[in-house]
Amino acid sequence: MMAHSKDVPIHAIWLAQDDPKKNTAVKLSKRGTIRLHERFTKLPRKGIILEPLCGKVLGPEDHSLLLEDSGALVGLDCSWAQIEESVQQVMKRTRLKARMLPLLLAANPVNWGKPSKLTTAEALAASLYLIGNEKQARDLLSAFSWGEQFFVLNKEPLDAYKNARSSKELVELQFEFFNIERPE
């Protein structure tokens, strides 16, 4: 898959459930890298929202929405402790397509090495990497001392996922990298 030179617009819904001093979306917003929204009415109308409970992985079929159709990538910034209520609250108020990421390991200090416990910044960067915007992904995580470690920790799965030809193939690839049970 080729690299794309066009940056994808990046946004995040901020539900103010975490300490703003440690929040990755708040930090990226202060740097001007993403647009942070506290109100749903200001969200982009077209794009993908990263929602870890939706059951549909961000796959190659979704790339054109972000790369050719000028869709935005939107992170859901909430506490993992309140994820279910947060997802319900947000998904009632948006028409963005919900997608989740395939399994990756967190590199942030709070959840280091835990599968899928990514910060908003890690999730956004992983999505950008998967659609071929590796430079934009690396720029995003360069704001954090541990940012490059995310790419080191996940190099093999990220590259395999990026080259998958379908969502089905991408989902299957997870079993090659992570010791998880296959659904029946």
pLDDT at 2: 47
Q: What is the mean pLDDT of residues 29-49?
A: 87
Cα–Cα distance measured from residue 70 to residue 49, given in angstroms and rounded to the nearest whole number: 14
Q: Tens digit of pLDDT for each residue in 103-123?
A: 999 999 988 988 888 999 999
**Which amino acid is located at 115 in the chain?**
P
Strand partners for 73: 10, 48
Strand partners for 36: 12
Cα–Cα distance measured from residue 130 to residue 82, given in angstroms and rounded to the nearest whole number: 27
Q: Residue ranges per domain, the chain?
A: 10-177
**Local confidence band at 124 (pLDDT 50, 70, 90 cut-offs):** very high
Share of residues in the chain with pLDDT > 90 (%) = 49
Average pLDDT, the chain: 87
User: Across 47-61, 77-91, 141-155, which has the greatest mean pLDDT?
Assistant: 141-155
Closest C-alpha to 100, from 151, 59, 61: 59
Cα–Cα distance measured from residue 15 to residue 155, given in angstroms and rounded to the nearest whole number: 30
Distant-in-sequence, close-in-space partners of 168: CB < 8 Å, separation ≥ 6:
59
Cα–Cα distance measured from residue 109 to residue 71, given in angstroms and rounded to the nearest whole number: 31
Distant-in-sequence, close-in-space partners of 176: CB < 8 Å, separation ≥ 6:
160
Residue 4 confidence (pLDDT) above 60: no
Distant-in-sequence, close-in-space partners of 32: CB < 8 Å, separation ≥ 6:
none
Please report which helix (H) or strand (E) contains residue 49, including its range: strand 47-50
**Model-level pTM?**
0.89
**Which amino acid is located at 142 in the chain?**
S
